[in-house]
Amino acid sequence: MAASLNVKFGRAVRSFRSAAGYSQEAFADEIKVHRTYMGTLERGKANPTLDMIARIAAGLEISLATLFEAVETGRTDAG
Amino acid sequence: MAASLNVKFGRAVRSFRSAAGYSQEAFADEIKVHRTYMGTLERGKANPTLDMIARIAAGLEISLATLFEAVETGRTDAG
């Protein structure tokens, strides 16, 4: 079965976050979300809002288009 | 003041939806959301979840990357 969008989103975030040199905890602190939320999100168990998605992209210093291209292709330039 | 992300998102959706030849009501019916929700969203007063954003993009037959490129640049190929 193909991975759900939420799973693909979590994988892309994890990939960019890791490539940026952040631990999950450090990144959560950086964008001021709860540490457990980042874990939940990276495992594809969250359904983030637009505002939250934007906060994540800003923390990763990538555009939303870049983030979603990675979500949809499964590839990150960084990874 | 620059338009907020939610406003830019609503504008991009309206532009693609209109270019696809849907009235707001017909598009709401197509993707099975409440008609008033589409109005709220296009006015930038909603904070849609990833699942809802994906439903909208699927209804518009565009990728999420294309949608967010339009959100971020304020331009749609269609419009």
- Side chain identity at A39, as an amino acid letter? G
Cα(A41)–Cα(A35) distance, rounded to whole angstroms?
Answer: 10
* pLDDT recorded at residue B75: 85
DSSP three-state, residue A49: strand
Q: Which tokens is B63 given?
A: 């990728």
What is the pTM (predicted TM-score) of this model? 0.93
- Side chain identity at A41, as an amino acid letter? L
pLDDT averaged per 10 residues, chain B (length 79): 89 98 98 96 97 98 98 78
- Side chain identity at B36, as an amino acid letter? T
On the CB side of B61, how many CA atoms lie within 13 Å of its CA? 8
Question: Cβ(B35)–Cβ(B28) under 8 Å?
Answer: yes
Contact list, B54 vs chain A (CB under 8 Å): 5
Contact list, B47 vs chain A (CB under 8 Å): 49-51
Question: A residues 21-60 near B, CB within 8 Å?
Answer: 47-51, 53-54
Whether residue B63 and residue A67 make contact (CB cut-off 8 A), yes or no, is no
